[in-house]
Amino acid sequence: MMVAETTKPHVALLPSPGLGHIIPLFELAKRLVIHHDFHVSFLVITTNEASAAQEQLLRSPTLPSGLDIVELPPVDVCHYHDDTLVLTRICVIVEESLKSLKSVLIELGNPKALVIDLFCTQAFEVCGELSIPVYSFCTASTALLTLSLYLPTLDREVDEQRINATILAEEVGVAIKPAVGEGKTTVGRKEIERVVKLVIEGEEGKLMRTRALKLQESAAKALDICGSSHDSLARVAKEWKA
């Protein structure tokens, strides 16, 4: 494992397998290096089924200096059957891979902090032994995270819960919820056709695309200098530099 020596504050990031988990934390790693002057070790859970797209992303020649890719010892997944549930597969791979996490962190010189995603919570115990603070990185919105944490209470106290489709359709205004016919449990073909035409050709569809574009622009502004997301990350980075 080759990691460049540096006097910059050093943190490690650990995503679970899959590009959907890797890309958000990878973008966070680049922002810490480029905008907040950190040295980042990006820990990668590897298997013997490497993704070409993942390799291209992590081996890009344009990676900023100070961002090191550190592969954990590979996990053999050949013995898993094709019908194994994806969630089960990810959990087992993470569990097996994180057996080496303690030695890797020690070899890295005990970083100032470790940032993980929601599938890597076994790292809390390991980092507790090394006195390394652990932060869980959630790529969903704050509202969705709050809702997820509040679900046990809703399950006890509320008979009907507002689901994502209802929120997107009625509150955010970027989706249309198809109607299910009386006495039926699935959406019919004609209803699907109606909704698709409404989204693609109708005025409501144009309004939804406009709202979605505004949300995209708002998210981009939040990441800009002095934006809310940039400032929030800057506050955390200041704690790590202390």
- Give the active site residues: 21, 117
Neighbours of 238 (CB within 10 A): 10
CA 40/CA 233 separation, integer angstroms: 14
SS3 138: coil
Q: Order of strands across the sheet with 134-136? A: 67-71, 39-44, 10-14, 114-116, 134-136
How distant, in Å, are the alpha carbons of 4, 73, 109, 116 from that of 67? 9, 19, 16, 16
Q: How many helices (H) and strands (E) does the chain have?
A: 10, 5
Give the phi and the psi of residue 40 in degrees, each rounded to 5.
Answer: -120, 130
SS3 41: strand
CA 103/CA 73 separation, integer angstroms: 11
